[in-house]
A and B are shown apart, each in its own frame.
Chain A
Amino acid sequence: MPQLVRKGVRIDDSFAEAFPMSGTGLIITAPNRKWAMIAAHTMTGFATSVIGCGCEAGVDAELSVKETPDGRPGVRVLLFAMSSKDAEKQLVNRLGQCVLTCPGTAVFRALDGEFEIKVGDAVRQFGDKWQISKALDGRRYWRVPVMDGEFLVESKVGLTKKCVGGGNLLVMGEDWDTTMRATEAGVEAIRGVAGAITPFPGGIVRSGSKVGSNYKGMGASTNDAYCPTLSGLGTSVLDPDIGCVLEIVIDGLTDAAVAEAMRAGLKAIIALGPKHGAKRVGAGNYGGKLGPFHYHLKDLLP
């Protein structure tokens, strides 16, 4: 594969291929950072891939007391799914089971989209007719009595169909430690980009997949071309100096957010250099025929 070199790191002349998704988000606040984060992590747990989890979700940003509607510490979480129906189902389920249950929390909308999802209007009935609503500046909130006080939840949150899922970087290094160091640096940089999340564990996936399988009925299987233990075989695309490959998958509220996240990740990975970090960076695609969004690495280089 033709390559460019930046600071000794080889960059594939390739592109990430991404897909349109429906996205929504919440601002979760709590009396302190700890419990806001616990709610956010619980809600976005088991949300790595739409294939098996129904949605992809993650923490977008931690918010200071000045940035939240109620002046308490908060977290903005984003949730993406293949359809608005899936997004609504997942959000309401996760809100009901993970945030309503979490001590001290309150929930507000994180974005205004073309559509709205009923969240408070769905969980309010937990209040068994003791719930009361409050309207403020054209937005409605439900106060649901719970055992630690009240659960305050906005009646509706925004949903947009303009989201992009599947931006990615394939980080290739000599061994697990150096590759992980570079990938972690990339994820850390992406964390600073607003409107983009990395839904996999710690933002990193090691089981990158290809479309199709040798088994009947399996839609996806291991990306053998990038498996280092198969590197000597004809199907491999790995160079002899690559012993580990990790992938960062990015979902964003907009096309620009995904591009910005990939740019930030690439910059951080390259800054680490090939000795202590990655030797090569690539991107996953399906030949450009499946997804309408293409992010060419050469356009995103620092």
Chain B
Amino acid sequence: MKPFLFALRQEPSQRLDLSRLTPDRLVGRTQKEIEAIDIGTTKVDAKVADLFKVRVGDPRVLHFEGGSERLDLLGAKLLPGFTIHVEGDVGAQLGRGAQGGTITVAGDAGAFAASGMTGGHIDIGGDCGDFLGAPLAGEIAGMAGGRVVVGGNVGQRAGDRLRRGIIIIEGDAGADLGARAIAGTIIALGAATGRIGYLNKRASLVLAQGGDFGPTYVDCGAHHFTFARLFSRALGEDSRRASRLLSQKLRRFAGDTAVLGKGEILTPA
């Protein structure tokens, strides 16, 4: 069966809330019903039919043809067993609170991607905005499970308050990567700047490029980590470079000792 297709007609005139178009919420609905869903965020009406050309197909597999940085909340609260593919860019809060399934974005993603995510897999081919996997204002923890792979660069504070799950950044990371991380794993293959792992409690930050992590990270020597080998094998399909990095002998900087200090930054020895 062909995927359920949403082809963008033109650049939207307002930010859109696509949380109502996740595949699990489309099951059992007719094309007419779907086309009548309001996805606007302003006083001006914005029905699905106004913005997308809809072609009915397998609702478990959604395709978005054409993207825009105004497509917010795409794949929000996605459930296991469903797939969304976007041939283009997306806006803020991609996969917000996703519980499972797979989201692939060929272009760039906005801020707060994978925020509150508890399971599933998000693959962003291009760059990603600030606060990847971070909590929204008022929330205690950020991303709490699943896996995010970003092919390009990410903005500031990626992995902020990360609770669980794996973030792989193939490009460069903006300032304060893994700041306030509670646990989980972040792998960055490009450069990272700012206060890396600032107030990190128990998270593992694996960085391809070393650097000065400040006095609250203490050098614990170079070791072969069995858990890194396990991750190396498990992440091979997502990122070969990340897999290769993890298979190496790694130097462990324990920290942030300004807080609990059970976390670490690992860099090639």
Which A residues contact B (CB, under 8 angstroms)? 29, 69-72, 106, 130, 132-137, 141, 143, 149-150, 152
B22 to chain A, nearest CB (A): 21
- Known contacts A132-B202, A134-B185, A134-B204; A71 and B227 CB within 8 A of each other: no
* Pair B231/A149 contact, Cβ less than 8 Å: no
Nearest Cβ in chain A — how far from B63, in angstroms?
26
Beyond known contacts A132-B262, A135-B165, A150-B225: 6 more, CB 8 A cutoff: A29-B226, A70-B226, A132-B183, A136-B234, A141-B227, A143-B225
Contact A152 B145 (CB under 8 A): no
Taking CB atoms, residues of chain A closer than 8 Å to B233 are 69-71
**CB atoms of B226 and A137 under 8 A apart:** no
The 5 nearest A-B residue pairs measured at CB = A152-B226, A70-B229, A70-B230, A106-B226, A152-B227
Q: Does B109 sit at the interface, judged by CB under 8 A?
A: no
25 A-B pairs (CB sep. < 8 Å): A69-B230, A69-B234, A70-B226, A70-B229, A71-B247, A72-B226, A72-B229, A132-B183, A133-B183, A134-B185, A134-B227, A135-B165, A135-B184, A136-B230, A136-B234, A137-B234, A149-B223, A149-B224, A149-B225, A150-B223, A150-B225, A150-B226, A150-B227, A152-B227, A152-B230
Asked whether any CB of chain A lies closer than 8 Å to the CB of B180, the reply is no
B141, CB-defined interface residue at 8 Å: no
Which residues in A have their C-beta under 8 angstroms from that of B247? 71
Which of B202, B227, B247: most chain A Cβ within 10 A? B227
Main secondary structure of the interface of A (DSSP, over half): strand
Is B166 an interface residue, CB under 8 A from the partner? yes
Q: Mark B7-31, 1 if CB is under 8 A from A, else 0.
A: 0000000000000000000000000
Q: Give the residues in chain A near B164, CB-CB below 8 Å.
A: 135
Closest chain-B Cβ to A80's Cβ sits at a distance in Å of 27
A151 — nearest CB in chain B belongs to which residue?
A: B226
B145, A135: Cβ atoms closer than 8 Å = yes
Cα A70 to Cα B235 in complex, Å, equals 12
B166, chain A: closest CB distance, angstroms? 7
Please report the C-alpha to C-alpha distance between residue A38 and residue B263 in the assembled complex, in whole angstroms. 32
Give chain B residues whose Cβ lies under 8 Å from the Cβ of A150.
223, 225-227
How many Å from the CB of A108 to the closest CB on chain B?
A: 8
Cβ distance A276 to chain B, nearest Cβ, rounded Å: 46
A66 to chain B, nearest CB (A): 10
B156 at the interface (CB under 8 A from A): no
Instruction: Give residues 188-230 of B contacting A (CB, 8 Å).
Output: 202, 204, 223-227, 229-230
Task: Report the Cα distance A290→B92, complex, angstroms.
Answer: 66
Q: Point out the residues of chain A lying under 8 angstroms from B183, CB to CB.
A: 132-133
**A71 CB, min distance to chain B CBs, angstroms:** 5
Report B-chain residues with C-beta under 8 Å of the C-beta of A141: 227, 230
Given contacts A70-B233, A134-B204, contact A149 B226 (CB under 8 A): yes
B215-269 CB contacts (< 8 Å) to partner A? 223-227, 229-234, 247, 262-263
Complex Cα spacing A72 to B226, Å: 9
Residue in A closest to B263 when the chains form the complex, CB atoms: A132
By a CB distance below 8 angstroms, the chain A residues around B204 are 134
Nearest chain A residue, comparing its CB with the CB of B229: A70
Chain B residue numbers with a CB within 8 Å of A132 are 183, 202, 262-263
Q: A134 vs B232: C-alpha distance in the bound complex, in angstroms? A: 13
* Whole-angstrom CA separation of A70 from B185 in the bound complex: 17
Q: Which residues of A contact B225 (CB under 8 A)?
A: 143, 149-150
User: Whole-angstrom distance between the alpha carbons of A72 and B228 in the complex?
Assistant: 12
For residues 145 through 193 of chain B, which have their beta carbon under 8 Å from a beta carbon of chain A? Answer: 145, 164-166, 183-185
Complex interface: chain B residues within 8 A of A133 (CB) = 183
Q: How far is the CB of A215 from chain B (nearest CB, A)?
A: 51
Rounded to whole Å, the gap between the CB of A1 and the closest CB of chain B is 53
- When distances are taken between beta carbons in the complex, the residues of chain A under 8 Å from B263 are 132
Bound complex: CA A106 to CA B228 (Å): 12
A137 to B80, CA, bound (A): 13
Q: Which residues of B contact A143 (CB under 8 A)?
A: 225, 227
> Is there an interface contact between B166 and A136, defined as CB atoms closer than 8 Å?
yes
A50 to chain B, nearest CB (A): 33
CA distance A150 to B264 in the complex (A): 14
List residues of chain B with CB within 8 A of the CB of A130.
262
How far, in angstroms, from A143 to B185 measured CA to CA in the complex? 14
- Closest partner residue, chain B, to A152 (CB atom): B226
Least CB distance, A73 to chain B, in whole angstroms: 12
CA A49 – CA B145 in complex, angstroms?
A: 43
Residues from chain A with a CB closer than 8 A to the CB of B232 are 71
CB distance from A143 to the nearest CB of B (A): 5
**CA–CA, A70 and B229, complex, Å:** 5
A149 to B202, CA, bound (A): 18
| Assembled-state Cα–Cα distance A141/B224 (Å) | 17
Residues of chain A lying within 8 A (CB to CB) of residue B234:
69, 136-137
Bound-state Cα–Cα, A150 to B250, Å: 13
Question: Shortest Cβ distance from B260 into chain A, in angstroms?
Answer: 10
Q: Write the chain B residue with the least CB distance to A137.
A: B234
Chain A residues within 8 Å of B166, by CB: 136
Chain A contacts of B262 at CB under 8 A?
Answer: 130, 132
Closest CB-CB distance, A27 to chain B, in whole Å?
11
